[in-house]
Structure formats: C-alpha cells, structure tokens
Amino acid sequence: MDRTPSRRLVALRWAIIATVATALCGCNLMTGLWKNTSGARYFQEGNYSLARDEFRRAILQDPSNPDYWHNLATAMKKQGDLAGAERIYRKALLINPSHQPSYHSLAQLLLEEGRQAEAMDLMQTWAATQPYLAESHIELAWMQREMGDLASAEQSLLQALKIQPNHPIALAHLGQLYQDTGQTDRALAMYRRSLATNWFQPEVQSRVAALGYSPATLMAQAPRAGGVSFRTAGPAFP
C-alpha cells in the first residue's frame, strides 16, 4: 500500500503547525513590546498603577525579557512596594545576569534603604564574576563614587576602558570625575573622546559648555573613533 500521500499530509500538517507557532511567537513578542511601550508612557505620565499593569502584560507575552521585569520593579518601587521591587529586580538578574539596568536600579534601592554594604557587595560581585564586561566596572565605579572613594572609582573606570577603550559612558564618567576634582584638561580630553564615539550625549555636551568650551569646537580637535563597537548601558524603558 502506498503511504506517500499520507506521509505528505503529515509533513504538511507539521509544517503548518510550525508556521503558526512561529507566527504566534512573533505576535507575542510584538505584543510584549507594545505593552512595554505603553507602560513606559504611563510611567512617564506618573500613572504607576497602569504602568505596572502594562509591564505585567508585557511579561506574560515575553517572560524571558529582563527589561520588562526591570520596568515592573521600577513601577512597584514608585508605588512604595520596595520589597516587591527588590524581588523583581533580582528576578531580572536571574534571567540575564549581565542586565546593567537591573544592577543599577537594585543598587539604588539598597542605598535608599541604608543597605550600603549590600549595594557595594552587589557591584563588587558583578565586577568579579564578569570582569570582561565594561559595564560591570562602570557600575562599580558609580558605587565607589557614591561611597566617596574617588581613587577606586577612577581605577574601575580605567579598567572599563582597558576592555573597551572608546566606551562613551566610561569616558564620560571619567571626565565627570576629573571635572569634579578640578582636573579640567583631563576632563575635556575624556569628554572629547566620549563625544567622538557618541555625539548624542546632551549631559556631556552640557558639562563641556559648563567648562566654557563649545562641544562642536572640542569635537573638531578629536581623533576619529570609527570602527569601535560597544554595548551602550542605559535605561530599559523605550
């Protein structure tokens, strides 16, 4: 008996199932993105309850996206649910142990609760376990600066630049450290390199202007930084 037609039907059926599953998966991802965007809009408007609901819906569509968990935690924090926010930030880090926004937000929460030692330990552990990430050293430098340890903060930023020599955020933070300690020439050198890599940094441009220089003029003195790739650490909100 010739079973070829039935085999073809089975193959066709599985092909259809696979196509539908792929389409549904893509649909879920897009719905999650829309819900996250909607939640961010509510958050920016100060409607944290609706923002929280939208971030929850985004998670239902794409539970493996750490940005959505981070944003949910941030909305919960705004509503005063600090314990819940901490739990969700840690959940985001379980999903993605390199998620910079969650490290930063969790550390801020710990600092606000007076848990400085825990916040420092969080950042030191990240830098120790993922020393190959520039972001881990940038965040450690931020924490060290919060604690008043400027010398260690400088060393952490220099370590980040050993990993990614033209990382605009590391350069900008190092420039700010030099500016705040009265080292104007070194600050301008760091700002120049940072803007050469990423011009669209209004805060850096403002700092340059505060030192009495035009950002455009400063840029004209900068060497080209083409061809350098980097991960830009930043907020998870769209």
Mean pLDDT of 106-132: 98
Domains of the chain and any CATH numbers = 30-114 (1.25.40.10)
Report the Cα–Cα distance between both ends of the chain, in Å, rounded: 60
Task: Supply the pTM of this predicted model.
Answer: 0.80
pLDDT in tens, 30-59: 888 999 999 999 999 999 999 999 999 999
Is there a contact between 175 and 206 (Cβ–Cβ < 8 Å)? Answer: no
Tell me the per-residue pLDDT of 196-236, one tens digit each, with 9 for 90 and over: 999 999 999 999 999 999 998 888 875 554 433 333 333 33
Query: What local confidence, expressed as pLDDT, does residue 219 receive?
Result: 84
What is the per-residue pLDDT across 61-103, written as a single tens digit (0 to 9) for each?
A: 999 999 999 999 999 999 999 999 999 999 999 999 999 999 9
Quick one: average pLDDT of 136-141?
Answer: 99
Q: Using alpha carbons only, what angle is made at residue 145 by residues 140 and 149, rounded to the nearest 5 degrees?
A: 100
Span 144-170, average pLDDT: 98
**pLDDT (tens digit per residue) in 170-186:** 999 999 999 999 999 99
